[in-house]
C-alpha cells in the first residue's frame, strides 16, 4: 500500500497566470490551504515567484484508449443518426465518445446525441457548420479537440476544404457559444506535449507563417483550462496534481509557450519531476 505523500508547503508561488504571490499547503494528496505568501508556519519551499497551475491532462491519447477497447460500441457501417441512436440505446448511462471530422459527420454525431439524450464527447470536431456550433453547449456535448492538427493540417485543409476553412478548428466560436473544450494531442499522431498543444491553440501557427484563421485563436487562460479538465485555478480541496513553470504563461512569447520551462510537477502531492 502506498503511503500518503508527506505534507508540503510552497511559498512565494504565483497562483495561476498573472495571479498573486501566495503560500500553498498540500496534505493527504490535496491542496488544503492557499494564503498570503508569509502566512503559513513551518518549513516551506520558496518557489521565487514561479507560477503554479492545475495539472495538465491530455484528453486524447491512443495509449490510454487501448485499455477501453472492450467497452466500445462499434458504430461502423451505420448510415444515419437514427441507426446510431438505436445502437446506443442499450448502453444508456455511458457517455459515448464519437470521432467526427467533417461537417456532415459532426452533424450526424450531434443528431445522435440529441436522439439518445445523453451527454458525451465528439472527438476532433474539425469542420463544423455554423448551425452545429451552438449545439455542443445545448446538448451538453464536449468538444475533444487537438489544436496541433490545426497548424499541421492547414495546407491540407486549404486544399480540400477550400472556402470552408473559416469554420475549421473553430475553437473560438465553440467557446463563444458556451461549449466545453478539452484539448488533447492525439499522440502518437502528434507530440505528447501539452505546451505544443497550447501554443497551437493560442497562436494558430507552428512555424514562421502568420496565424491561420487568427479569429479562431483562444486566450492563454482558456487554453490552460481546456488542458486541465476545465480547472482554471488551483483551489483549496483540489487534488494536488500540479505543474510549476518558470515563466508566467501570460508573459511567454510564442516560442517560450511552445517549449515552456517546467520547474516541477506533482501528482497527488508527490513530486514526479522537479527539485525534490
What is the bridge-based pairing of β-strands 270-273 and 262-267? antiparallel
Q: Kind of pairing, strands 120-124 and 141-145?
A: parallel
Range with lowest mean pLDDT among 27-31, 62-66, 169-173: 62-66
For β-strands 181-183 and 242-245, DSSP reports them as unpaired
**Per-residue cell: 236:** 483549496
Beta bridge partners of 121: 97, 142
Instruction: Give the confidence band of 14 by pLDDT, cuts at 50, 70, 90.
Output: very high
Higher pLDDT, 86 or 148: 148
CB 142, CB 182: distance < 8 Å: yes
Helix H segments across the chain? Answer: 62-66, 81-88, 103-116, 135-139, 147-152, 154-160, 171-176, 194-203, 220-226, 254-258
Q: How far apart are CA 22 and CA 29, in angstroms?
A: 19
User: What per-residue confidence (pLDDT) applies to 148?
Assistant: 97
Residue 75 in contact with residue 87, Cβ under 8 Å?
Answer: yes
What confidence tier does 256 reach under pLDDT thresholds 50, 70, 90?
very high
* 140 pLDDT higher than 70: yes
Stronger pLDDT, 222 or 71, i.e. the higher one:
222
Half-sphere exposure (CA, 13 Å, Cβ side) for 249? 30
The mean pLDDT value of the chain amounts to 92
Average pLDDT over residues 236-246: 97
The C-alpha atoms of residue 226 and residue 121 are separated, in whole angstroms, by 14
Q: Cα–chain-centroid distance for residue 124?
A: 12
Strand partners, 11: 46
- On whether the CB atoms of residues 152 and 212 are closer than 8 A, the answer is no
pLDDT (0 to 100) of residue 68: 56
Residues 6 or more apart from 200 whose CB is under 8 A from it? 147, 148, 150, 151, 206
pLDDT at 64 over 60: no
Query: Residue 3: pLDDT above 80?
Result: no
Is 102's pLDDT higher than 70?
Answer: yes
According to the model, what pLDDT value does residue 65 have?
A: 54
Exposure on the CB side of residue 201, measured as CA atoms within 13 A: 30
Q: How confident is the model at residue 78 (pLDDT cuts 50, 70, 90)?
A: confident
Cα distance between residue 271 and residue 266, in whole Å: 4
Choice between 115 and 238, residue whose per-residue pLDDT is larger: 238
**pLDDT confidence tier of residue 87, bands split at 50, 70 and 90:** confident
What is the rounded distance in angstroms from the CA atom of residue 152 to the CA atom of residue 156?
9
Tens digit of each residue's pLDDT (9 = 90 or more) over 195-237: 999 999 999 999 999 999 999 999 999 999 999 999 999 999 9
- Residue showing cell 484508449: 65
Lowest-pLDDT range of 3-7, 12-16, 40-44, 116-120: 3-7
Q: Is the pTM of this model over 0.85?
A: yes
- CA 189, CA 206: separation in Å to the nearest integer? 15
For residue range 148-158, what is the model confidence (pLDDT) as tens digits?
999 999 999 99
Measure the CA–CA gap between 46 and 43, rounded to whole angstroms: 10
Amino acid at each position: 500500500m502506498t503511503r500518503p505523500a508527506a505534507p508540503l508547503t510552497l511559498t512565494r508561488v504565483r497562483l495561476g497566470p498573472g495571479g498573486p504571490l501566495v503560500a500553498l499547503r498540500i496534505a493527504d494528496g490535496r491542496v488544503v490551504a492557499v494564503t498570503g505568501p508569509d502566512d503559513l508556519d513551518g518549513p516551506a519551499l520558496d518557489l521565487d515567484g514561479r507560477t503554479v497551475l492545475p495539472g495538465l491532462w491530455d484528453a486524447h491519447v491512443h495509449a490510454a484508449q487501448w485499455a477501453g477497447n472492450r467497452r466500445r460500441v462499434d458504430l461502423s457501417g451505420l448510415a444515419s443518426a437514427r441507426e446510431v441512436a438505436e445502437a446506443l440505446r442499450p448502453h444508456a448511462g455511458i457517455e459515448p465518445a464519437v470521432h467526427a471530422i467533417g461537417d456532415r459527420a459532426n452533424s450526424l454525431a450531434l443528431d445522435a446525441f440529441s436522439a439518445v439524450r445523453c451527454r458525451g464527447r465528439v472527438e476532433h470536431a474539425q469542420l463544423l457548420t455554423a448551425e452545429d456550433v451552438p449545439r455542443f453547449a445545448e446538448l451538453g456535448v464536449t468538444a475533444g479537440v487537438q489544436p496541433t492538427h490545426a497548424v499541421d493540417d492547414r495546407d491540407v485543409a486549404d486544399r480540400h476544404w477550400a472556402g470552408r476553412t473559416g469554420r475549421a478548428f473553430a475553437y473560438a466560436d465553440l467557446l463563444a457559444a458556451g461549449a466545453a473544450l478539452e484539448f488533447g494531442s492525439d499522440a502518437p499522431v502528434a507530440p505528447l506535449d501539452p505546451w505544443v498543444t497550447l501554443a497551437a491553440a493560442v497562436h494558430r501557427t507552428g512555424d514562421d507563417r502568420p496565424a491561420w484563421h487568427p479569429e479562431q485563436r483562444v486566450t492563454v487562460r482558456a487554453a490552460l483550462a481546456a488542458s486541465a479538465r476545465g480547472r482554471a485555478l488551483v483551489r483549496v480541496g483540489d487534488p494536488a496534481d500540479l505543474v510549476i513553470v518558470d515563466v508566467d504563461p501570460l508573459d511567454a512569447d510564442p516560442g517560450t509557450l511552445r517549449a515552456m520551462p517546467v520547474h516541477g510537477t506533482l501528482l497527488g502531492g508527490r513530486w514526479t519531476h522537479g527539485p525534490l
